[in-house]
Amino acid sequence: MRMYDLIMKKRGGESLSKEEIEYMITEYTADRIPDYQMSAMMMAIYFQGMSAQETSALTMAMAHSGDMMDLSEITGTKVDKHSTGGVGDKTSIALTPMVAACGVKIAKMSGRGLGHTGGTIDKLESFAGFTTGITAEHFVRQVNEIGVSIMGQTADIAPADKKLYALRDVTATVDNMSLIASSIMSKKLASGADAIVLDVKTGSGAFMKDEKDSFALAQEMVTLGNMAGRKTIAVVSDMDQPLGRAVGNALEVEEAIATLRGKGPEDFTELCMTLGTYMLIAGGAASDEQDARKKLHSVIEDGSALKKLADFVQAQGGDAKAVYDTTLLPKASVVEEIVSSKSGYVCRIDCEEIGICSLILGGGRETKDSMIDLSVGLVLNKKVGDYVTAGQSLATIYANDRDKLASAKERFGAAYHFTDQPVQGSGLIKGILS
């Protein structure tokens, strides 16, 4: 078999066989196929697409390109959760302790942020000393002992995806449905959980901006998960404006903690409730939606979800005192209000632009190796549907550098759009696929 022939075949719109896909992934992982040939293949796939059979073969080949985690030593059903990425998406930080406090085991692998979207690992590192660089033994022990652990993606889990994702990121081939579905699901399948709840984002801050495409992506991933014998459910949720109000690592952690105290923003709380409901049902801890919601409310009310977060942070070396005293989280030196120059109803917030503001302030990575500033970001004081009068604050901005602050403010100005007429929000939960 020759990679050249496979590129020609895909470029001409033909389907690749399972054997051809396995060959390509094995040889690329072993560095026997160069990046330039794989880049050409990714672009051919981008334009020609892949059939369901090809996507499934690609997913399984990437999942098996490294270790398949064995979680059999963890008792009970292990549930994983994954978001396709967005702005202000701090869901895992509040949701995983909520679900674990209800008795479902959470064994989750997470990544760092790249571009305008943040990553759970970076956010969790706002707790001084916290690490996701734990061993598989630590991970298994911790899930058995306290019911939740989040570890970083090791080099041995789906290494083919790791190489391919980095390549796609620099060759403009990220936003293809089959490539995204196989990338996410290969990691999820290799991570070993029994059930997977996916949060597929749609809108201006998501990889999939079009709702129809987001549903198709969700369906594709649900099919891939179920075919591999994992119970897989997808929630399609809005990312046309940032989730909640906080954007930026420590600021998002603070908002997640407020949510665990029952004082979180309405949209973010509702997303945690919806995803949590399906995690409890998949994990066998709730019989139906009503039962699940009741249980999730009760762990917030009695403080056990907050305590679970503290136990989780401590078990991974972090300063759990910050869970109860958020003044201990990283703080920016400059705090300013961004006031509106116009009056009217907020009709649209360009979500990606808000993510880029946080990136400019230092809260995200420009490149894989950039250092990030955990303390910076924004808290939105007005969201879609809110009325604002000129001179009122649209957002509070947190910075450590005056030049970066000025650039972020300039960018922010173009992100908000107003109208004279009252506007309805577009709805947070777009649909659920199982």
Q: Is there a contact between 370 and 404 (Cβ–Cβ < 8 Å)?
A: no
Catalytic residue among 78, 81, 82, 188: 82
188 noted as active-site residue: no
Q: Among the candidate windows 16-24, 176-184, 306-314, 324-332, which touches ligand URA by CB under 6 A?
A: 176-184
Indicate the residue among 206 and 399 with the shorter CB distance to ligand URA: 206
Catalytic residue among 80, 161, 311, 373: 161
82 noted as active-site residue: yes
- Residue 164's φ and ψ, nearest 5 degrees, are -70, -40
183 noted as active-site residue: yes
Sheet of 246-247: strand order equals 246-247, 377-380, 393-399, 334-339
- For 77-102, give the DSSP string: -EEEEEE---SS--HHHHHHHHHHHT
Cα–Cα distance for residue pair 316/130, rounded to 1 Å? 6
Indicate the residue among 191 and 241 with the shorter CB distance to ligand URA: 191
CB of 109 to ligand URA, least distance (A): 11
Size of the residue set binding ligand URA (CB under 6 A): 9
Indicate the residue among 211 and 336 with the shorter CB distance to ligand URA: 211
Query: For residue 195, what are its two tokens?
Result: 């059930």
**Is residue 154 close enough to count as binding ligand URA by CB under 6 A?**
no
Cα–Cα distance for residue pair 93/428, rounded to 1 Å? 19
Q: Among the candidate windows 12-20, 175-183, 224-232, 238-246, which touches ligand URA by CB under 6 A?
A: 175-183
Binding residue for ligand URA (CB under 6 A) from 68, 174, 228, 334? 174
Catalytic residue among 90, 168, 230, 231: 168
Q: Among the candidate windows 11-19, 46-54, 145-153, 172-180, which touches ligand URA by CB under 6 A?
A: 172-180
CB of 161 to ligand URA, least distance (A): 7
Q: What DSSP element (H or E) covers 255? A: helix 249-260
- Nearest partner of 415 among 372, 384, 392, 387, judged by Cα: 384
Indicate the residue among 22 and 199 with the shorter CB distance to ligand URA: 199
Q: Among the candidate windows 53-61, 179-187, 347-355, 379-387, which touches ligand URA by CB under 6 A?
A: 179-187
Residue facing ligand URA at closest CB distance: 183
C-alpha dihedral (238, 240, 243, 248), degrees to nearest 10: 140
- Nearest partner of 16 among 64, 66, 43, 56, judged by Cα: 56
- Nearest partner of 358 among 346, 370, 348, judged by Cα: 370
Where are any strands of DSSP class E within 120-172? 148-152
Indicate the residue among 139 and 207 with the shorter CB distance to ligand URA: 207
Cα–Cα distance for residue pair 184/68, rounded to 1 Å? 15
**Is residue 85 close enough to count as binding ligand URA by CB under 6 A?**
yes
**Is residue 84 close enough to count as binding ligand URA by CB under 6 A?**
yes
**What's the first-to-final CA gap in the chain, in angstroms?**
38
CB of 58 to ligand URA, least distance (A): 12
Indicate the residue among 96 and 173 with the shorter CB distance to ligand URA: 173
123 noted as active-site residue: no
- Each residue 180-219 as x (binds ligand URA by CB under 6 A) or -, in order, gives x--xx----------------------x------------
Indicate the residue among 58 and 257 with the shorter CB distance to ligand URA: 58
Catalytic residue among 83, 126, 183, 358: 183
Catalytic residue among 187, 201, 245, 430: 187
> Based on the number of CB atoms within 10 Å of its own CB, is 391 exposed (0-12), middle (13-18) or buried (19 or more)?
exposed
Q: Is there a contact between 219 and 433 (Cβ–Cβ < 8 Å)?
A: yes
CB of 99 to ligand URA, least distance (A): 21
CB of 379 to ligand URA, least distance (A): 26
**Is residue 46 close enough to count as binding ligand URA by CB under 6 A?**
no
- Residue 344's φ and ψ, nearest 5 degrees, are 150, 180
Q: How far is CA 118 from CA 32, 40, 83, 218, in A?
A: 33, 29, 11, 21
- Nearest partner of 87 among 322, 406, 380, 414, judged by Cα: 380
Active site amino acids: 82, 161, 168, 183, 187
- Chain residues that interact with ligand URA, rule: CB under 6 A: 84-85, 165, 174, 179-180, 183-184, 207
